[in-house]
Every structure is written in structure tokens, then in C-alpha cells.
Amino acid sequence: MAAEPSGDVVSSATGDHYSPSIRGMVLAQKDDDDLLVPMKKAKPEKKEPADDDLLLPAKTDKPAKDDRTEQGIDLKGFIQGEAAYAFRDPEHWSKAKGILELGSNGRLGESAKWKVSARAYYDAVFDIEKNFYAPAVKDDQRHEFQWRETYLDIPAGEWEFRLGRQHVIWGEMIALFFADVVSARDLREFILPDFDMLRIPQWAARAEYFKDDFHAELLWVPYVTVDNVGKPFDASGKSGAEFYMYPPQTSGVPGYAIADLEKPTHKLSNTNVGLRVSGLTSGWDLSAFYYHSVDIQPTFYRTIIAAPVAPVPTALFTPRHDKIDQIGGTLSKDFSDFLLKGEAVFTHGRKFNVTRLSQDDGLVASNTFDWIAGLEFTPFADGRFNVQLFQRYYASHDPDMIPDRTESGVTLLLSGKPRRNVEVQGLLISSLNRSDWLFRPKLTWNLEKNWRWVFGVDVFHGPTTGLFGQYDDKDRVYTELRYSF
């Protein structure tokens, strides 16, 4: 079947890029504190963590007098330098980034609060590796400005209203997104950046109700933000974004191309709505939610381009964002000797790629059920050990899908402090269906007050169709130096 491509098209005849084995189960590395410290709640929290605790107003029993009117705006934030070197063939610098984040907060009157924050960066890797990356990648990732959490809080008795750009965090498992369905993510470096760098706030209106141990949220996202997946390779043969998630090659079709992303239009019918309720009962922290949304992750629609439009038959994939519905819940309980957490999500409306040529758009629809359970222990002083088992079940599995009907995996995290200001950590995330894993040893040195220096290695292994194996040649060493003020 021949068709004319629409928009700008990048192409390659190699077709050696594939989709992750657990499509849609996107992973995210949390920051050090979120990874290692179990949350013990005496009552439902009123707000989720912000971009950076440095930017949050101090919590007091009574509103303190705000002296900003006399001394001006108090800016807080951080300056961070990042460098990464990919040491597999072809060896290259993959990051040389400088980042600045600034923010401030204050009060309007006696009760309303405001916060403004923004982040900007410049990545000099495109000046160092001038001929390695495709031009579209350079344009997309060389520099960026982004509004971070920027909102107004208005309390009204047992209700609180937050209007503006904000984080809405409904799940909190280590290293994995399951119930955390609202947040968009910057996936141009896959899961590798810290938690506070990965998550992208949503422009939203949220109403929260608090009564004793009960908490309810009503959410409306009128201006949807979706995952940033970067730019793919192009016809020049130069590299695309380091961790672009390519769809699978089509059987019997030699050509392979990725069209421009079709972003969702900002109109009323493309807004997201959600409801979440939570509470404490007999020491169990329980929640349930429903979320109707434009999917934050893209679905790759396929069109076959035949001669004479293309030199060889080519599978053209166009990433789009479909509408989905999700129902889920979370639980957690502190048993003194260990902390138990779990999350589950049922998703309706997603489509998944198949490799057979006879499927018109290369997609089949399937409801999915995802769940995860985790235990965290303190085996020694200043140490943490966490283990999680996770699984995805495809209700309408197709034999030409890359993943199995049931995909299972495990995460293992061990950390400790050999010295007061030094922390060592090892994180392993692995599939149980095949030899497909990511290992991340890391050392964090809090060398001075407000200064943090990180050294680490990211090692991928697995088949090219695996979630981690697709990046088997992206192993890298990295370092990060941050000054917070």
C-alpha cells in the first residue's frame, strides 16, 4: 500500500532500531532522598514534593510575616554542571551541560501563597561533537528554557486550590512509574537523570479536600504537556537523540523512517481530568484514582511508502498522542522492620506496535494491567535495601508484538554511607523474561555545605528488542556537580 508522507521525514534503510520490550512501562530514576528514605505518614499530605525543596516556603503553624516587601525577592535554586562520556563503539561525549534553576515564593495577603521557578541550560556537547549528532537533535537539545513550578495556592476552609504549573504525583515507587500517571517526563536521556530533573510539571487547576485522615483531589489539565522524547536519526546517518525509543522494524520492509511528532492540539476536547481519593485506616495508607487524558507517551502509527515515492519500500512511523483512561490505586504500610508499598493501574485505549506487514497501521489495541510491590529494609546503620517485583499483562496479546503476554521484572537497590558525607549506591533493574537489564553504581560526595558531587556508571545489556538492550552501545560514565543556594 503506497501513501504520500506528510511533513518532514527522516529516514534510514538500516532498520536496526526497535521498541522497548515493555512498551509504555517508562522508568524514571528518582533523586537520592526519594530512592532511599521510606515515607512514614501520620496523615495524608496536602501537597506533593516540589521541583526542589530549596524553593518551598517554610511550613509553620501560623503564617510568618513576609519580609520580602522590605528586602526584595529572595531567589533560591541551584547551579549544576553535568558531563557524560559514552565508552562503547562509537565512543563520544554525550553530555556537557550547564544548568541554572531559579525560584522564589511568597504570600498574597494572610493566606494565599505563590511560587515562581524556571530552569535554563546549555549543552556544549554539540560544540564538542560537531559531526556526530543530526542537526534536528542539536536544535532540540543545545539549549532550553522551561517554566518549572509556577502557581498560586488559595486555601478555603477544608479546601485548597492550586492554579498554575505544578507537579501532581500520584505514585512513589522506586525507579518506576506506575500510578504516577499525570506527570510528563523528559526522556531524552531515558531514565538516567535524577528525579527532579526528569519530571516536567503540568499546567493545571487542582482542588483538594482535607478532612481528618481523608483526602480528595479534583484535577483539570487544560494545557497538556507530554513526554519529551527528543529527535530521531535522519537521512544523513548522524545520530539521533541518545535514547530515542524507536518502534520495531516491519517484517519484509527494508526501509525505516520516523516522521515529525504530531503534538496534541490545545483545545477543550484534549484536556485531562482526574479524581483521586486517599486516606489512612489501621496504619494503611490507601488511595484510588481515575484519570482520563491525552497519553503522555507517543504511539507510533505506521504507513508503508512504496516506490517511486521512496527508493525502497519504507515503513514510515508517525508518533501521535492518543486518549486513554486509567484506573488505579496505591497502598503502603510501615511494619517497623520493613516498609511495604504497592501500586496497580488498569489502562484502556493504548495501542502497541506489531511487526507484520499486513496490519494497516502497524498497531493493535490492548488493555493492560500493571502492578508493582516493594519491600524496603534497613540492614545496617545508614543503609537501605529495597526490592520490587513488577509486571504488565496484555489482555489482547498479539503474537507479532515484541513483548510477551506477561512481562515481569525486578529492581534491587542497596546503599550505604562509608563516611558521614559519602554515600555509595547500586541500582539494578532487570527483566525476568529475558537477559535485559540496567545496572547503575553511583557515589555521592557532599563535599561542603550546599555542594554535591556525583560520580556514576550506567551499563545496559540485552537484545536490541529489549527495554535496556536497545541501548546496549550507550554505556557511559558521568559526573555531576551541584551548588544549591
Using CA atoms, how far apart are residues 318 and 302, in angstroms rounded to an integer?
6
Using CA atoms, how far apart are residues 340 and 436, in angstroms rounded to an integer?
26
Q: Which helix (H) or strand (E) holds 36?
A: helix 32-36
The neighbour count for residue 11, using CB atoms within 10 Å, is 22
Cell 505514585 sits on residue: 171
**Model pTM score:** 0.85
Using CA atoms, how far apart are residues 353 and 247, in angstroms rounded to an integer?
7
**Can you say whether the dihedral through the CA atoms of 389, 394, 398, 400 is positive or negative?**
negative
The neighbour count for residue 379, using CB atoms within 10 Å, is 9
Q: State the first-to-last Cα distance of the chain, in angstroms, to the nearest integer.
A: 59
Using CA atoms, how far apart are residues 164 and 147, in angstroms rounded to an integer?
11
- 289-333 confidence digits (pLDDT tens): 999 999 999 999 999 998 888 889 999 999 999 999 999 999 999
- 207-252 confidence digits (pLDDT tens): 999 999 999 999 999 999 999 999 999 888 799 999 999 999 999 9
AA identity, residue 423: E
Average pLDDT, the chain: 88
Looking at residue 61, what is its pLDDT? 43
**Can you say whether the dihedral through the CA atoms of 83, 84, 85, 89 is positive or negative?**
negative
Q: Which helix (H) or strand (E) holds 334?
A: strand 323-334
pLDDT tens for the chain, residues 1 to 485: 444 444 444 444 344 444 433 444 444 444 444 433 334 444 444 444 444 443 443 444 444 444 444 456 789 999 999 999 999 999 999 999 999 999 999 999 889 999 999 999 999 999 999 999 999 999 999 999 999 999 999 999 999 999 999 999 999 899 889 999 999 999 999 989 888 899 999 999 999 999 999 999 999 999 999 999 999 998 887 999 999 999 999 999 999 999 999 999 999 999 999 999 999 999 999 999 999 999 999 999 999 998 888 889 999 999 999 999 999 999 999 999 999 999 999 999 999 999 999 999 999 999 999 999 999 999 998 899 999 999 999 999 999 999 999 999 999 999 999 999 999 999 999 999 999 999 999 999 999 999 999 999 999 999 999 999 999 999 999 999 999 99
Please tell me the number of Cα atoms within 13 Å of 164 on its side-chain side.
Answer: 14
Beta strands 272-281 and 76-86 are unpaired
